[in-house]
């Protein structure tokens, strides 16, 4: 992570600490449980981290490039490389979903609409480094990004889910879980066309927007 990225992370943490301090003053002014300050600090940190995901660009955190693949075969020429440094972290996750949406029929995945699993791997690796810097010092975490499933027949739907985590859940108490929602930036007609290549679907059954949920959950170490 470069100096600009480190500075941005520090700004996010300072913001979180300032709000946590304000919470502590309120807590002292009223009776509350001993763990309330820690819990509120965790909530504030999770919210601030998701805020950073919506505004911090990949360029501020070291940059991000990838080479699209076609039918899981890497494109050999360098001109195929995409530079996504001006995308926000949340936009990287949304693009990952757009590249890897899957059609499910009868509870079983048929095929991704745009197969690019290497992009998914690289995005998760990049964002894990960011999360380790922001929240990994005190908390274990799990970031889950998923589409709200789009049902277009009783048995068929389009969906995607990916996760980034620092640990395996071992029954510890989850401190907090915060969620933001975004729209998948794909025109209705384009999504419909992609689906019809795999499975016949009526235009009347497709919702106008594909929504994305990004949820960050924290556990004390």
Token code pair at residue 94: 């949304």
In 3D space, the residue among 102, 187, 185, 179 whose CA is nearest the CA of residue 145 turns out to be: 179
Rounded to an integer, what distance in angstroms lies between the CA atom of residue 220 and that of residue 45? Answer: 12
What is the phi/psi pair of residue 129, to 5°?
-60, -40
More confident residue, 19 or 33: 33
Q: Which residues contact 126 (CB under 8 A, 6 or more apart)?
A: 58, 61, 62, 64, 92
101-122 average pLDDT score: 80
In this predicted structure, which of 78-82, 97-101, 175-179 has the lowest mean pLDDT?
A: 78-82
Per-residue pLDDT of 186-200, as tens digits, reads 666 667 776 776 667
What is the pTM for the complete model shown?
0.76
> What DSSP string runs through 74-118?
E--SGGG-EE-TTSBHHHHHHHHHHHH-EEEETTEEEEESS--HH
- Stretch (H or E) spanning 140: strand 139-147
């Amino acid at each position: 992570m470069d100096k600009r990225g480190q500075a941005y992370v520090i700004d996010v943490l300072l913001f979180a600490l300032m709000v946590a301090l304000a919470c502590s003053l309120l807590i002292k002014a009223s009776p509350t449980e001993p763990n309330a300050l820690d819990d509120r600090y965790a909530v504030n940190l999770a919210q601030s981290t998701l805020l950073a995901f919506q505004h911090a660009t990949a360029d501020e955190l070291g940059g991000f490039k990838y080479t699209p693949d076609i039918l899981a075969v890497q494109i050999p020429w360098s001109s195929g490389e995409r530079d996504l440094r001006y995308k926000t972290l949340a936009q990287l996750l949304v693009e990952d979903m757009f590249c890897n949406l899957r059609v499910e029929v009868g509870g079983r995945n048929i095929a991704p609409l745009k197969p690019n699993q290497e992009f998914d791997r690289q995005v998760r690796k990049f964002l894990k480094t960011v999360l380790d810097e922001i929240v990994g010092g005190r908390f274990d975490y799990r970031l889950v990004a998923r589409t709200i499933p789009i049902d277009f027949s009783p048995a068929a739907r389009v969906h995607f889910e990916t996760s980034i985590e620092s640990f395996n859940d071992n029954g510890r108490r989850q401190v907090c879980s915060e969620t933001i929602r975004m729209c998948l930036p794909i025109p209705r007609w384009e999504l419909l066309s992609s689906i019809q290549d795999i499975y016949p679907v009526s235009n009347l059954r497709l919702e106008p927007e594909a929504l994305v949920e990004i949820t960050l959950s924290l556990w004390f170490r």
